[in-house]
Structure 1
Amino acid sequence: MEQNVVSGYKPVNNIDVYYEFYPNQASEQTIVLLHGFLSSTFTFRHMIPLLKKEFQVLSVDLPPFGKSAKCSRYKYSYQNIAQTVIKLTESFGLQKMILIGHSMGGQIVLNILHLKQEIAEKAILLCSSAYLKRSKMPLILSSYLPYFHRFVKYWFARTGVEKNLQASLYNHSIINEEMINGYLEPFLQDEIFVALTRMIRDREGDLPAKILKQIKTPCLLIWGDHDKSVPLKIGEKLSKDLTNSKLIVLEKTGHALPEERPIEVYHYIKGFLANNQTG
């Protein structure tokens, strides 16, 4: 790992959270990166080298993903994960934060803004999850069955990392061994499936429009026009409900923006942060 990164674990909110911190004394702003479902800080490996030149960067493995602990006592609700990120940033004493969330990470960003709007100057949502309901009751009840985590593992093995990547990307030619192995690695231990079973139970669903309309933080939404996971129409609806937001659509692009369009996304982020105008 590079010399100018501080990585490790912090015990916050009753769980050990893995982070990578890239200090930058020349920047007053800190970018906080939050990945999506079934992902990790690995998602941002192409964007971090670009961002850390201009900004201080904190990339977080959201529990239970990546290298963060998998704990059966932890509540894997969006609100609790958001609280965990807030407490982690407080432990670093961070000010003037810019929150960037991809997919489910975008929903965590919105939960953070709902809980503590003053925490961030601006937010960037990359194909953010939005308007998903809570899991249906039969699935929640099933999650209490002994060994239900084995069904979760079986489902994951059937869909497979490569298939998930193909569904997330418009350009399949960028899929390689490094990418497949990077996304597969956190799922080689059984603990993750026990935690995912708990998440089925705890996840309360995305924030409703009524709450989204109360968020006044300037938000930049960036979407792929070929996003199959969170279609563009979701981004269009979200941009209407977030009253201080702007939507940018990238052509011939799927869901995994940090993989497919890291340079373009970086330039849009830089432009958005340089512009003092809102909306």
Structure 2
Amino acid sequence: MNYEIKQQDKFRFIEEGQGETLLLLHGLFGALSNFEDLIEHFKRNYKVVVPILPLFDLDIFHTTVSGLEKYVHKFIEMRGYQQIHLLGNSLGGHVALLHILKHPERIKSLILTGSSGLFENGMGDSYPKRGDYDYIKKKTELTFYDPATATKELVDEVFEITNNRIKVIKIIALAKSAIRNNLGEELNQIKQPTLLIWGNNDSVTPPFVGREFNRLIPNSELHFVDKCGHAPMMEVPEAFNEILAGFLNKLKKPAATIA
């Protein structure tokens, strides 16, 4: 994937295609490669934007879900995006939720997949162990239904992050912030059409989490994907893109015709 990483002020981001803005927020161990199939599919009809979240660049006091939301808000304001379809995976979904609750005016729709904000297992039963490649490999594989999705390149990326003491401290800070920042009582304030795409085999944010989001967000629809873990846009990109395209196409119709 060879997309130009643009820079404006302190913000680094990808922007591909033309049309309504589809803005993608990656998760805690997310990388631009997570969205490769999604970008390729939707850049034909949408302006696909991926800000690179400063997971390890904020000072420790702002290394929180709220700190990331403020960064996203400033980025959106600087770029002047309007009528945004805001999509977030895992921690990125949590940031998206916080943003739409604080600044709903520019958001046309919300898409969540494997989002935190209600419940998540994080790294499982323990924090990441530095220097233990096999442990990191197994934990990365647990993100997916098919362990083969955790390529050596992906495991190497996660291992590099978890082998850096400062980055591990910030991962733990973000994970604890996500657990503290439970949005259950606020989700009924979301008015925008919301799409929930969940892996039936997600062990980080299990299927019941998707059902609870569906119950709490008024104008939401939930789609489960079989043989799929925590990152459907990576593991089952064709199914994911088909569900997302159907949702976005419905929003193009006059309001009176939307079921």
Pick the TM interval, shorter chain.
0.7 to 0.9
CA shift in 2, pair 1:226/1:94, >3 Å: same
What RMSD over aligned residues (CA atoms) do the two structures have, in Å? 2.8
SS in 1 for 2:241: helix
Q: In 2, distance between residues paired with 1:185 and 1:83? A: 27
CA shift in 2, pair 1:45/1:188, >3 Å: farther
Q: In 2, distance between residues paired with 1:194 and 1:234? A: 27
Percent of pairs identical after alignment? Answer: 23
Alignment partner of 1:101 is 2:88:
yes
Q: In 2, distance between residues paired with 1:228 and 1:199? A: 19
* Aligned match of 2:22: 31
TM-score normalised by the chain length of structure 2: 0.84
Contact 1:9 1:18 in 2 (8 A): yes
Deviation for aligned residue 1:163: 1.4
Q: In 1, distance between residues paired with 2:182 and 2:234? A: 26
Q: In 2, distance between residues paired with 1:46 and 1:160? A: 28
Contact 1:10 1:88 in 2 (8 A): no
Select 1:258's aligned residue among 228, 233, 245: 233
Select 1:221's aligned residue among 188, 196, 203: 196
Aligned residue pair count:
250
CA deviation profile, 1:35-71 (whole Å, cap 9, x unmatched): 112223232123211121221111122221xxxx523
Q: In 1, distance between residues paired with 2:134 and 2:167? A: 16
SS in 2 for 1:131: coil
SS in 1 for 2:180: coil
* Aligned match of 1:8: 7
Q: In 1, distance between residues paired with 2:38 and 2:176? A: 33
Deviation for aligned residue 1:191: 3.4
Gaps of 5+ in 2: none
Q: In 2, distance between residues paired with 1:201 and 1:179? A: 24
Alignment partner of 1:247 is 2:234:
no
CA deviation profile, 1:113-155 (whole Å, cap 9, x unmatched): 110111210011012113249x9xxxxxxxxxxxxxxx96635
TM-score normalised by the chain length of structure 1: 0.79
* Aligned match of 2:65: 78
Alignment of 1:147-226 (within 5 A): 154=129, 157=132, 160-187=135-162, 189-199=164-174, 202-203=177-178, 205-226=180-201
Contact 2:188 2:216 in 1 (8 A): yes
Q: In 1, distance between residues paired with 2:137 and 2:176? A: 27
Gaps of 5+ in 1: 12-16, 136-150
Aligned-partner residue type, residue 271 of structure 1 = G
CA shift in 2, pair 1:253/1:201, >3 Å: closer
Deviation for aligned residue 1:203: 4.7
Deviates more, 1:99-108 or 1:45-54: 45-54
CA shift in 2, pair 1:7/1:191, >3 Å: farther
SS in 2 for 1:275: helix
SS in 1 for 2:13: strand
SS in 1 for 2:196: strand
CA deviation profile, 1:196-237 (whole Å, cap 9, x unmatched): 354356556243322001111110000111111111011101
Deviation for aligned residue 1:193: 2.3
Deviates more, 1:39-48 or 1:199-208: 199-208
* Aligned match of 1:14: none
Contact 1:78 1:108 in 2 (8 A): yes
CA shift in 2, pair 1:275/1:130, >3 Å: same
Q: In 2, distance between residues paired with 1:72 and 1:243? A: 36
Contact 2:113 2:232 in 1 (8 A): yes
Deviation for aligned residue 1:184: 4.0
Q: In 2, distance between residues paired with 1:116 and 1:156? A: 41
* Aligned match of 2:49: 58
Alignment partner of 1:118 is 2:105:
yes
Contact 2:233 2:240 in 1 (8 A): yes
Select 1:19's aligned residue among 4, 13, 24: 13
Contact 2:128 2:136 in 1 (8 A): no
Q: In 2, distance between residues paired with 1:222 and 1:156? A: 34
